[in-house]
Amino acid sequence: MQKNGGKTADGWEVHFGVNYLAHFQLIQLLSPTLQDSQDPRIILVSSSHLTKGRINFETLKNGEPSRSSRGVTQEYCDSKLMMALWGYQLQKYLNNIKIITVSPGWCRTGLGREHGTPWVILPFIIIPLALFSQSAEEGADSVVYCILKSTLASPVFIKNRKSVPAIQRYLEENDRLGSELWDFSISAIEEHK
């Protein structure tokens, strides 16, 4: 995956298409089966970086990247905001299914290995990564917790096995944007059938 670039086969910006729209479509297809399940729940993986996200529907329609110069790409933040907003909207449509959004935190994985980071910048990435990140197993802990904990309220945003009220309020305050995103996503799927 290229930083701030790339498109899916359908022409969507790659973060939007892979991190969000593919999941949206999959759950749309699976929701009838999920509703008939015992204690159904959907765990959506997002990030605390969602508060840095913004949604520009025109840019999404054109498949254009945001061209952010930040270390964490704008498209990543945008897709994680979309995932969490979608969770809150999804709860309205699937009220008998628990919808839980979780942030695994900053984890050491091989995800950025093909990022093409210049070698002179690597020390500025590796040192904070070694000091402040966690293993992939530690990051998965909150995801597994959400899968197994039967008493979690819904919808909820979880990080480090705890709900994050500030992010929950942020998502509730952006309910209108979430509704617009839902409509846009339905249209995007219909357009590519």
**Helices 175-191 + 165-173 axis angle, to 10:** 70
Beta bridge partners of 163: 158
Higher per-residue confidence, 47 vs 73? 47
DSSP letter (8 states) at residue 13: B
Task: In whole angstroms, give the CA distance from residue 149 to residue 128.
Answer: 32
SS3 175: helix
| Euclidean distance between CA atoms 51 and 73, whole angstroms | 13
CA dist 128 and 172 (Å) reads 32
Q: Give me the phi and psi of 150, to 5 degrees please.
A: -80, -15
Q: pTM for the complete prediction?
A: 0.80
Predicted pLDDT at 114? 54
What's the pLDDT score for residue 2? 44
42 CA to centre of own chain: 13
State how far Cα 25 lies from the chain centre. Answer: 14
What pLDDT band is residue 118 in, cutting at 50, 70 and 90? low
Domain locations in the chain as residue ranges: 14-191
Architecture of the domain spanning 14-191:
3-Layer(aba) Sandwich (3.40)
Contact 39, 66 (CB under 8 A): no
**Chain center to CA of 45:** 5
Catalytic residues: 76
Highest mean pLDDT, choosing among 15-29, 119-133, 149-163: 15-29
Cα–Cα distance list, 101 to 7, 146, 154 (Å): 26, 9, 9
- Judge whether 76 and 68 are in contact, CB under 8 Å: no
